Structure 1
Amino acid sequence: MTAARGITMTVLAGPSVPKPLLPATVDLLESVEITEAMEGRSGFQLVFGASRGSPFDLIDYPLLKERSLAPWSRVVVLVTFNAVPTVLIDGLITRQELQPSQGDGSARLVLTGEDLSVAMDREAKTAAHPAQSENVIASKIILSYGRYGILPQVMPPPVIVVPPPTQRMPMQHDTDLGYLLTMAARFGYVFQVRPGRVPLSNIAYWGPPRLIGLPQPALTVAMSGETNVDSISFRTDALAAAATAGQIMDPATNKASSIAVTKASWPALGRTPALQAWGSDGRQALLDGAEGLTYAQARALAQGRTDSSSQRTMIAEGELDALAYGNILRAAGLVGVRGVGRTYDGDYYVAEVTHQLARGSFRQKFRLNRGGIAALKPLVRP
């Protein structure tokens, strides 16, 4: 399917190993929408025209007979832009919706799905993880899904604790996905399953948001022939960032200790970190959920909450045409913004991108975050 000039899209689908859709099925594909998110699952939606024009189709819609489009089939969407292939989503169909025709030929089959992390959310279980730290447990759980081509990329937490089995045993009373997210939340970490560079390969990332590295090509506003954004708006949320403080009883020493985290440890991506900018006017959150944690673990929990809240201080939302942008904007990385002015120019973390593809069109909606006020540098890399 040709989405736009120089852009082609390929859809693979199947109950086990996905294969290219049949040409007749591709002809019925009207649109594809894919949402990449840094928090929570990424997802997709395929919309097909569902014809029953042949006398042989009186029993049912032909598309409903295709095993490759049935619930729990695997779907891979690949976009080739200027001869460079990019896998946008690798996931499973979780919902099938038929919108029947009223005799005017307007029937639609809508398939909705989520990235492969949904496979980790199908079975709630009780499991013990004796003498294992969070990063070891995360790697072990992820490796058990190797049949999907998922490889772990697990970052060590700021505090690594290996509890002796005689004192405490980490217990899981949740799905694997739920437990991975719970462990990540202790440090303000994220968990994402993202497609790799080639189809059917995936990376399961457990760690802090990637706030360092080379930014993607800049989003340019109001710069004559260099403008590549159709619309963009900015806001500063003074209630987002919160210092975290509270008291805990350290089981290792049996002593009460106070904890106060007033600065974020993640890169602010701006000239002045939010909590520093607000000073005494900033919010303070109470440290809860720290029962049974040592002082080091509780402080890591407080630091993680302060970090993640601060990163949502400055937000940009907008829309662009991929052809005008000249690239494919991806979530969970950095991107520069220029042409707006010193307050809102600079680098941002790409929190979410929604790819909207149809014949002759490839548009993207985006949401960007950062934790610092004003641009960090006077010039933004194009």
Structure 2
Amino acid sequence: MSLLSSILDPGFRQAASVLIEIGPDRRDIGDLATLVSGIEINTSRTEAATGTLTIDDRRREDGQWMAADSGLFQRSQPIVVSADFQTHVDEIFRGYMVELKPELPQNGGEAKLVVELQDEGVALNREHMRRVWGEDAPITDLAILTELVAPLNLDVDPDSDDGQSARSLSMDGTPIQFLRDRATANGFELIFSGGGVYFGPKRLEGEAQPVIMVYAGSGTNCLTWAISDDAQKPDAVGFEIAPRDEGADPVVEIVTPNLPVLGTTAAAEEGAGLGTPSIWRISREGDEPEEVTRARAQAAANDNSFKIRATGELDGTLYGHVLRVGALVRVDGTGERNGGLYYTDKVTHAFTTDGYRQRFELIRNGTGDSDSLGAAPLSSAISAISSLF
């Protein structure tokens, strides 16, 4: 049984189906849809979205292969993959075909065409560039990004952040490598989706995605659920900068997280009774300005405050939506401590003959369920850490 015929079978709870559109004009793949045996799309806040499209190819009497010789599957061919829930369609992935891998085993009935995919950011990985930004005047990271993506006709998300402003910022590599480095330096996300790009911090405010339901009777849409609560991540990050002038004191600073807490209690508070604060220290890189070192420390402190990671799998049909990375989602049915708001870190979307599944990884910097963002950005425990220095 083919992938599309099985997931369109009304006996499978009116399952969500997959929609594949190819080329600049986004044309449907037609009869070849019946040969699709598997689709897997991996999305992440911090890495490129990638995917694999597997087609059971068939050889015609004239010696041509139905998929490989169709002209539809070519390197750098645009492709959009969406989930069709019958009442609405949610886009999952937009990008390009980056590798074609025909597989022709001895048994011709097992022949396949495997197509590897990558998001639209791959178009920024084609030319090695050497350039110094901000030679004449300071320029923000967002202004650099806007200029680099302009030839791709991508929309820059209006919620994107300016990032740092610098002079004489050297670029020696491909644009996508440079932009990911700038995202890391700011503690930002760089997400390509839906014909646009987002460059900015975690979006911890606003409307959450539809609820993930665990042990909710007929309302259950989550098939598996597990939690990892890491006590080894630091509660703060420190740095020291040597004095520029002889006899002056060095700059010594401890940076604590400044993000809203998802829950009623910051995760760091549970380790406050150990006596010794958990602090990592970073070193200044080269002759970078003090504000750049401080920004890196802040990014590390914020990232390490997300000590809780949840993993699980959704029945995509029962969930009825595409779970998106870089967005809030509420979890219900996991108890008072582990229920509430989480931030979506990674999602793998898989269409197989078993239906549509979404394997997820969620992160959180607090515990406790509340209807709002709960605790203030700086908890009492973290404030206490700062007072020690």
Does the TM-score normalized on the shorter chain lie above 0.5?
yes
Query: Between Structure 1 and Structure 2, how many residues are aligned?
Result: 358
- Answer whether contact 1:18 1:68 (CA < 8 A) is retained: no
Deviates more, 1:100-109 or 1:349-358: 100-109
| 2:231 equivalent to 1:238 | yes
The one-letter code of the counterpart of 2:328 is L
Specify the alignment match of 1:88 in structure 2. 92
What's the counterpart of residue 156 of structure 2?
A: 151
**Residue 121 of structure 1 contacts residue 176 of structure 1 at CA under 8 Å; is this kept in 2?**
yes
* Per-residue deviation, 1:116: 0.7
TM-score normalised over the length of structure 1: 0.86
| Corresponding letter in the other structure for 1:67 | G
Distance of aligned partners of 1:32 and 1:63 in 2 relative to their CA distance in 1, 3 Å threshold = same
- Which deviations, in whole Å up to 9, do the C-alpha atoms of 1:151-184 show, x marking residues without a partner? 3543123xx4353xxxxx1110121111111111
Aligned to 1:302: 297
Q: Which of 144, 154, 179 lines up with 1:137 in the alignment?
A: 144
Which residue number corresponds to residue 208 of structure 1? Answer: 201
1:240 & 1:138 partners in 2: Cα distance? 31
**Which structure 2 segments of 5+ residues have no match?**
9-13, 375-389
The answer for unaligned runs of 5 or more in structure 1 is 164-168, 196-201
**Structure 2 partner of 1:351:** 345
Q: Matches of 1:275 and 1:374 in 2, distance apart?
A: 13
Deviation by residue 1:277-335 (Cα, 9 ceiling, x = unmatched):
32345532221244323333322221111101212x11111112122223332222111
Within 5 Å, give how 1:176-191 maps onto structure 2: 176-191=175-190
Map of 1:237-316 to 2, 5 A cutoff?
Answer: 237-249=230-242, 256-261=250-255, 263-279=256-272, 280=275, 283-311=278-306, 313-316=307-310
Identity among equivalent pairs (%): 22
TM superposition shift of 1:231: 0.9
C-alpha contact 2:240 2:283 (8 A) present in aligned 1: no
- The answer to whether the 8 A contact 2:215-2:333 is kept is yes
Contact 1:92–1:116, Cα closer than 8 Å, also in 2: yes
Counterpart of 2:79 in structure 1 is 75
Alpha-carbon distance, 1:357 to partner: 1.5
Q: Does 1:34 align with 2:41?
A: yes
Q: In 1, Cα distance between the equivalents of 2:212 and 2:161?
A: 30
Q: Distance in 2 between matches of 1:283 and 1:104?
A: 60
Partner residue, 1:224: 217
Give secondary structure in 2 for the equivalent of 1:55.
coil
Q: TM-score, normalised by structure 2?
A: 0.84
* Aligned residues of 1:248 and 1:291 also touching (Cα < 8 A): no
1:43-77 CA distance string (max 9 Å, x none): 1111101111x3201xx534222332122211111
Shift of 1:188: 0.8
* Residue 12, structure 1, aligned to residue 7, structure 2: no
The one-letter code of the counterpart of 2:156 is L
Deviation at 1:193, TM superposition (A): 0.6
Matching residue of 2:61: 55
CA distance in 1: counterparts of 2:97 and 2:25, whole angstroms? 12
Question: Does the C-alpha gap of structure 1 residues 192 and 114 become closer, same or farther in structure 2, counting only changes over 3 Å?
Answer: same
> Structure 1 residue 378: deviation in Å?
9.8
Residues 235 and 162 from structure 1, CA distance in 2 versus in 1: closer, same or farther, beyond 3 angstroms? Answer: closer
What letter is aligned with 2:170? M
| Structure 2 Cα separation of the partners of residues 22 and 324 of structure 1 | 26
Q: State whether residues 96 and 110 of structure 1, in contact with CA within 8 Å, keep that contact through their aligned partners in structure 2.
A: yes
Q: How far, CA to CA, are the matches of 2:284 and 2:148 in structure 1?
A: 24
Q: Note if 1:324 corresponds to 2:318.
A: yes
Is the CA contact 1:44–1:114 (under 8 Å) kept in the aligned structure 2?
Answer: yes
1:97 Cα deviation after fit: 1.7
Offset of 1:103 from its aligned partner?
2.5
